[in-house]
Amino acid sequence: MFHIYQKAKNNSRRTIVLLHGTGGDEYDLLPLATYYDEDAAVISLRGMVQEQGMNRFFKRLSAGVFDEEDLMSRTDEFQKFLETIFQQYELDLSLAVLVGYSNGANLIASYLLHVNTVVSHAILHHPMVPHCFILPDRQHTTNVLVLASDNDPIVPTHQTEELCTLLNKTNHQVTQYLFKHGHQLAPLETQAAKNWLLEG
Protein backbone atom coordinates (compact mmCIF):
# COMPACT_ATOMS: atom_id res chain seq x y z
CA MET A 1 0.00 0.00 0.00
CA PHE A 2 1.27 3.48 -0.87
CA HIS A 3 2.59 5.22 2.24
CA ILE A 4 5.02 7.65 3.87
CA TYR A 5 7.41 6.40 6.54
CA GLN A 6 9.05 8.60 9.17
CA LYS A 7 11.55 7.07 11.56
CA ALA A 8 11.10 7.25 15.35
CA LYS A 9 13.10 9.75 17.41
CA ASN A 10 14.79 9.47 20.78
CA ASN A 11 14.65 5.65 20.76
CA SER A 12 10.84 5.59 20.82
CA ARG A 13 9.47 2.10 20.06
CA ARG A 14 5.97 3.31 19.24
CA THR A 15 4.61 3.62 15.66
CA ILE A 16 1.59 5.70 14.71
CA VAL A 17 -0.27 4.46 11.62
CA LEU A 18 -2.42 7.12 9.92
CA LEU A 19 -5.46 6.63 7.65
CA HIS A 20 -7.08 9.77 6.20
CA GLY A 21 -10.75 10.50 5.41
CA THR A 22 -12.45 10.42 1.98
CA GLY A 23 -10.72 12.81 -0.43
CA GLY A 24 -7.62 13.09 1.74
CA ASP A 25 -4.11 11.79 1.27
CA GLU A 26 -1.10 10.55 3.20
CA TYR A 27 -0.05 14.11 4.17
CA ASP A 28 -3.35 15.13 5.84
CA LEU A 29 -2.89 13.62 9.29
CA LEU A 30 0.91 13.95 9.64
CA PRO A 31 0.58 16.97 12.02
CA LEU A 32 -1.75 14.86 14.17
CA ALA A 33 0.89 12.13 14.60
CA THR A 34 3.43 14.74 15.74
CA TYR A 35 0.84 16.18 18.14
CA TYR A 36 -0.06 12.77 19.61
CA ASP A 37 3.54 11.62 20.04
CA GLU A 38 6.40 13.59 18.50
CA ASP A 39 8.90 10.76 19.00
CA ALA A 40 6.90 7.91 17.47
CA ALA A 41 7.66 6.47 14.03
CA VAL A 42 4.92 7.25 11.51
CA ILE A 43 3.43 5.22 8.67
CA SER A 44 0.84 7.24 6.80
CA LEU A 45 -1.21 5.51 4.09
CA ARG A 46 -3.00 6.69 0.99
CA GLY A 47 -6.34 5.07 0.20
CA MET A 48 -6.01 3.50 -3.27
CA VAL A 49 -9.73 3.37 -4.18
CA GLN A 50 -10.79 6.26 -6.42
CA GLU A 51 -14.26 7.80 -6.17
CA GLN A 52 -14.69 10.75 -8.53
CA GLY A 53 -11.07 11.73 -8.00
CA MET A 54 -11.18 11.24 -4.23
CA ASN A 55 -8.95 8.72 -2.41
CA ARG A 56 -10.71 6.17 -0.20
CA PHE A 57 -9.71 2.98 1.62
CA PHE A 58 -12.61 0.87 0.28
CA LYS A 59 -15.51 1.15 -2.15
CA ARG A 60 -18.99 2.30 -1.23
CA LEU A 61 -22.28 1.87 -3.02
CA SER A 62 -23.66 5.23 -1.85
CA ALA A 63 -23.13 7.60 1.12
CA GLY A 64 -22.88 5.42 4.24
CA VAL A 65 -23.57 2.17 2.33
CA PHE A 66 -20.40 0.14 2.00
CA ASP A 67 -19.35 -2.44 -0.57
CA GLU A 68 -18.76 -5.10 2.10
CA GLU A 69 -16.99 -7.53 -0.23
CA ASP A 70 -14.47 -4.87 -1.17
CA LEU A 71 -14.19 -3.75 2.48
CA MET A 72 -13.36 -7.29 3.62
CA SER A 73 -10.68 -7.74 0.98
CA ARG A 74 -9.21 -4.29 1.80
CA THR A 75 -9.23 -5.26 5.49
CA ASP A 76 -7.24 -8.41 4.70
CA GLU A 77 -4.90 -6.36 2.51
CA PHE A 78 -4.40 -3.89 5.42
CA GLN A 79 -3.61 -6.77 7.78
CA LYS A 80 -0.99 -8.19 5.40
CA PHE A 81 0.45 -4.74 4.76
CA LEU A 82 0.91 -4.07 8.50
CA GLU A 83 2.57 -7.44 9.11
CA THR A 84 4.95 -7.00 6.17
CA ILE A 85 5.82 -3.34 6.68
CA PHE A 86 6.42 -3.64 10.43
CA GLN A 87 8.83 -6.48 9.71
CA GLN A 88 10.51 -4.59 6.89
CA TYR A 89 11.12 -1.47 9.02
CA GLU A 90 11.89 -3.61 12.12
CA LEU A 91 9.03 -2.11 14.13
CA ASP A 92 6.92 -3.68 16.88
CA LEU A 93 3.27 -4.11 15.82
CA SER A 94 2.20 -4.67 19.43
CA LEU A 95 3.25 -1.05 20.18
CA ALA A 96 1.35 0.44 17.23
CA VAL A 97 -1.30 3.15 17.55
CA LEU A 98 -3.74 3.12 14.62
CA VAL A 99 -5.27 6.55 13.99
CA GLY A 100 -8.04 7.04 11.45
CA TYR A 101 -10.48 9.75 10.48
CA SER A 102 -13.90 8.97 8.93
CA ASN A 103 -13.30 6.57 5.99
CA GLY A 104 -9.85 5.71 7.42
CA ALA A 105 -11.39 5.09 10.87
CA ASN A 106 -13.90 2.75 9.22
CA LEU A 107 -11.16 0.56 7.74
CA ILE A 108 -9.43 0.44 11.15
CA ALA A 109 -12.77 -0.44 12.82
CA SER A 110 -13.20 -3.28 10.32
CA TYR A 111 -9.67 -4.52 11.10
CA LEU A 112 -10.33 -4.40 14.86
CA LEU A 113 -13.58 -6.36 14.51
CA HIS A 114 -12.38 -8.92 12.03
CA VAL A 115 -8.65 -9.53 12.52
CA ASN A 116 -6.85 -11.10 15.46
CA THR A 117 -4.63 -8.04 15.80
CA VAL A 118 -2.05 -7.36 18.52
CA VAL A 119 -1.91 -3.55 18.23
CA SER A 120 -1.97 -1.73 21.57
CA HIS A 121 -4.09 1.36 20.76
CA ALA A 122 -6.51 2.66 18.15
CA ILE A 123 -7.97 6.17 17.90
CA LEU A 124 -11.09 6.31 15.71
CA HIS A 125 -12.24 9.82 14.77
CA HIS A 126 -15.90 9.72 13.62
CA PRO A 127 -16.16 6.03 12.65
CA MET A 128 -19.27 4.15 11.51
CA VAL A 129 -20.22 0.47 11.77
CA PRO A 130 -18.21 -1.02 8.87
CA HIS A 131 -19.90 -4.46 8.96
CA CYS A 132 -21.03 -7.08 11.47
CA PHE A 133 -18.39 -9.78 10.81
CA ILE A 134 -16.81 -10.08 14.23
CA LEU A 135 -14.10 -12.36 15.54
CA PRO A 136 -15.67 -13.67 18.78
CA ASP A 137 -12.68 -15.56 20.21
CA ARG A 138 -10.05 -12.81 20.27
CA GLN A 139 -7.31 -13.21 22.88
CA HIS A 140 -5.64 -9.82 22.62
CA THR A 141 -7.27 -6.59 23.79
CA THR A 142 -6.65 -3.27 22.02
CA ASN A 143 -7.40 0.00 23.84
CA VAL A 144 -9.78 1.75 21.47
CA LEU A 145 -10.86 5.37 21.67
CA VAL A 146 -14.01 6.25 19.72
CA LEU A 147 -14.55 9.99 19.14
CA ALA A 148 -17.91 11.10 17.77
CA SER A 149 -20.35 14.02 17.75
CA ASP A 150 -24.03 13.81 18.56
CA ASN A 151 -24.69 16.27 15.72
CA ASP A 152 -22.54 14.57 13.09
CA PRO A 153 -24.44 14.77 9.75
CA ILE A 154 -22.58 11.68 8.41
CA VAL A 155 -22.50 9.39 11.46
CA PRO A 156 -25.79 8.94 13.36
CA THR A 157 -25.32 8.42 17.13
CA HIS A 158 -26.85 4.92 17.00
CA GLN A 159 -23.97 3.87 14.68
CA THR A 160 -21.41 5.02 17.25
CA GLU A 161 -23.22 3.08 19.99
CA GLU A 162 -23.48 -0.03 17.83
CA LEU A 163 -19.79 0.10 16.90
CA CYS A 164 -18.80 0.41 20.59
CA THR A 165 -20.97 -2.63 21.39
CA LEU A 166 -19.35 -4.67 18.61
CA LEU A 167 -15.84 -3.64 19.71
CA ASN A 168 -16.64 -4.61 23.32
CA LYS A 169 -18.00 -7.97 22.11
CA THR A 170 -14.70 -8.62 20.35
CA ASN A 171 -12.80 -8.17 23.62
CA HIS A 172 -11.47 -4.64 23.04
CA GLN A 173 -11.29 -2.03 25.80
CA VAL A 174 -13.42 0.84 24.48
CA THR A 175 -13.54 4.47 25.63
CA GLN A 176 -16.05 6.77 23.99
CA TYR A 177 -16.05 10.59 23.89
CA LEU A 178 -18.98 12.52 22.46
CA PHE A 179 -18.66 16.09 21.15
CA LYS A 180 -20.83 18.65 19.42
CA HIS A 181 -18.84 19.76 16.40
CA GLY A 182 -20.32 17.75 13.55
CA HIS A 183 -17.99 15.60 11.44
CA GLN A 184 -14.92 17.84 11.93
CA LEU A 185 -11.63 16.93 13.55
CA ALA A 186 -11.83 19.81 16.04
CA PRO A 187 -9.01 20.79 18.49
CA LEU A 188 -11.12 19.81 21.53
CA GLU A 189 -11.34 16.29 20.12
CA THR A 190 -7.66 15.88 19.23
CA GLN A 191 -6.67 17.26 22.64
CA ALA A 192 -8.89 14.65 24.33
CA ALA A 193 -7.28 11.91 22.21
CA LYS A 194 -3.78 13.10 23.09
CA ASN A 195 -4.61 13.05 26.82
CA TRP A 196 -6.15 9.56 26.51
CA LEU A 197 -2.99 8.26 24.82
CA LEU A 198 -0.78 9.91 27.47
CA GLU A 199 -2.77 8.15 30.21
CA GLY A 200 -1.84 4.85 28.52
Instruction: Say how far apart CA 84 and CA 121 lie, in whole Å.
Output: 19
Show the binding pattern over residues 19-58: x = contacts ligand MLT (CB under 6 A), - = does not. Answer: --xx------------------------------------
Catalytic residue of the set 44, 102, 110, 120:
102
Instruction: Say how far apart CA 184 and CA 152 lie, in whole Å.
Output: 8
Which of 128, 147, 163, 197 contacts ligand MLT by CB under 6 A?
128
Question: Given the DSSP bridges, would you call strands 41-45 and 15-19 parallel, antiparallel or unpaired?
Answer: parallel
If DSSP codes are grouped into helix, strand and coil, which group holds residue 30? Answer: helix
What phi and psi values does residue 187 have, to the nearest 5 degrees?
-55, -40
Q: For 160, what's the count of Cα atoms within 13 Å in the CB-facing half-sphere? A: 23
CB of 43 to ligand MLT, least distance (A): 20
Catalytic residue of the set 20, 126, 149, 152:
152
Our CB check for ligand MLT shows the closer of 15 and 55 to be 55
Catalytic positions, written as ranges: 102, 152, 183
- Contact set with ligand MLT (CB under 6 A): 21-22, 60, 63-64, 102-103, 106, 128, 154
